[in-house]
Copies of this chain bind each other. A is one copy, B any other.
Amino acid sequence: MSDHLHVAEPGKQFRLEHHAPEATPGLSEDEGEALLPELRLRLDELQELLYADRRSAVLVVLQGMDAAGKDGTIRSVFREVGPLGCMVANFGVPTPEEAAHDFLWRYHLQAPARGRIAIFNRSYYESVLVERVHGLVPKSVWKGRYGAINRFEALLAAEGTVVVKFFLHVSKEEQRQRLQERVDNPKKRWKFREGDLDERKLWDDYGAAYEDMVNECSTETAPWHVVPADHKWYRDVVVARALIRRLEALDLRYPEAAPGIVGTIVI
C-alpha cells in the first residue's frame, strides 16, 4: 500500500484490524484539502475523454457501513464531473421481479455502457454482506457467490469495463458520532432509521464479512481499495487518486475526425 491508494494486494491475507480507519499517511488535512480541487478537475477531464473515446466503461463500487460516507464521497469526488458524466445506481430491498432472478441480474442491468461511468452506491457485494450477516441465505449459497462475483467482474473487465472498488472503512466510534448527528440535527433526521442501531449491534459480524469479501474478491483485474474513511478529506483524496490512476492507464484519446471534417466551414 506504499502508493497510498490502499489496495488490498490480491492473494495476500487481509486483516481488517491492521488497517486504521483514522489513518492519513503522508498527508496533512491542509495538504489534502488543497489537492482535492485539482483532482476533481482532472477526473472531469478524464470523464470527458472516456466519453469521447467510447472504448471503455467505468464501474465504481462503493461499500461501507451505514454512515461510512458513501453519499458524501460521491458528492465530493464527482463534484466537477456532474450528473451528465456519471450515473449513480442505488439498490434497495429487491423487488419480487428482481428476487426472482439470480443475484447479479439487477446489477448487470445497471452496468455502464462504453463511454460511461456508473457508480454503484452499494452493490452486488451486499449479497455476501447483509444477506450473510442476517442469515438470509445459507452459508453454502453465499460462499459460492465470491466466485460468481469474480467471474462477473472478469467478464466486465474483458469487455472493456474498468471495475474500481472502494470499501470505506470507518471506526465504530466515528459511526457513532455520525449517527448521533443524524438524530440531533432536524435536517438530517430523515436519514436515520431505527434499523441502523440494529445493524450497529452486528458490527463485528459485518467486520468478518467485509474481511472475507476483500480476501475473496480483491483480484488483479478488480482489486479492493480499503479506504481509511474516518477523515472525509483523506477518503476523498484516496478515491479520486485511485480513479484517476485507473483512467490514465487506459490511454484514452479524442477520436480522429472523420475524413473531410477538418476545415469544414459551417454555413
Partner-B contacts on A (CB < 8 A): 52, 71, 74-75, 78-79, 81-88, 119, 121, 176, 179-180, 183, 186-187, 189-192, 194, 197, 200, 254-255, 257-258, 260-267
Contacts and interface: CB of A to CB of B under 8 A. Distances in A.
Contacts of A255: 189-190
Q: Which 10 A-B pairs have the closest CB atoms?
A: A52-B190, A179-B266, A180-B266, A83-B83, A189-B257, A74-B84, A190-B255, A183-B264, A83-B86, A83-B88
Contacts of A264: 183, 192, 197
A179 B74 CA distance: 33
A117 to B, nearest CB: 9
A240 to B, nearest CB: 14
Nearest to A193: B258
A83 B119 CA distance: 9
Contacts of A86: 83
A191 B53 CA distance: 11
Contacts of A189: 254-255, 257, 261-262
A263 B189 CA distance: 11
Most buried by B among A79, A82, A200: A82
A257 B176 CA distance: 19
Contact of A74 (B82, B180, B194, B197): B82
Given A180-B266, A183-B261, A255-B190, A85 B84 contact: no
